[in-house]
Amino acid sequence: MSSLDDRRALIATACRVLAHRGLAPGVLGHVSLRIDEEHCLVRCRGPRERGLAFTEPADVRLVTLDGEIVDGADGYAVPNELPLHTEVLRARPDVAAVVHAHPPDTVAADLAGLAVRPIVGAFDIPGAHLAAGGVPVYPRAVLVRNRALAGEMVAALGDRPVVILRGHGLTATGASVAEAVLRARSVDTLAAMTLAVARAGGIPRDLPPEDLAELPDLGGGFTHDTAWRHEVASLPSP
């Protein structure tokens, strides 16, 4: 990804994937990508706003980490929750991309007191490993609209890849846009499975350690590249 235009297109595609998978219904949610120490690209709201499912590359603007749009985008505004992205990027040099979404199953499972745990195995190997490390929860159901609140969320996130925002949604991170989106999807898949088990009268139980240890690392070429191509190919035709 050498040009800003390429990266704008990637973020726009990621927004459409989030909407298609039900993680960011309506007009809420955004994706960002670090450009350098002072700038990121982020999905902004423009004069033709129609929701994430209809995101175009022009909706993705170059902004400073202090929230100034620097590429002449008349009529565009940064997300109210831009600090959610920028504070993660400031605190976590290992993170290149941040996804903020509002998946209903993730919210519902947390409100029901059901933690996202490694309850499945080969059904979703990357998700099982992610959940085995723990998915923390930021307990305030607020709009993360300033650096102080974002700092609280970042503290809850710690060194983990995803944090659930109680009564709100989730924030997922990654070394790439694809990785951040796929992590958000895995967490929501696990949350949906947890809810389904609970509705059926069962008790979600962690995999035994020996089963978790047996799950292989299938490599980034499969878990990221192939999975991402599937997500993009599954998008409805424009």
Residue 30: partners with Cβ closer than 8 Å, 6 or more residues away: 15, 42, 43, 44, 79, 81, 85, 99, 100
Would you call 56 a catalytic residue per the annotation? no
Q: Which residues pair with 100 in a beta bridge?
A: 30, 171
Classify 82 as helix, strand or coil.
Answer: helix
- Residue 15: which of 39, 64, 65, 50 has the closest Cα? 50
Question: What is the 8-class DSSP label of residue 223?
Answer: I
- Residue 32: which of 2, 64, 73, 70 has the closest Cα? 64
**Catalytic annotation, pick one of 37, 38, 56, 81:** 81
Residue 48: partners with Cβ closer than 8 Å, 6 or more residues away: none
**What backbone phi and psi angles, to 5 degrees, belong to 50?**
-130, 0
Please identify which residue in the block is written with the tokens 């985008």: 73
Q: Which residues are catalytic?
A: 81
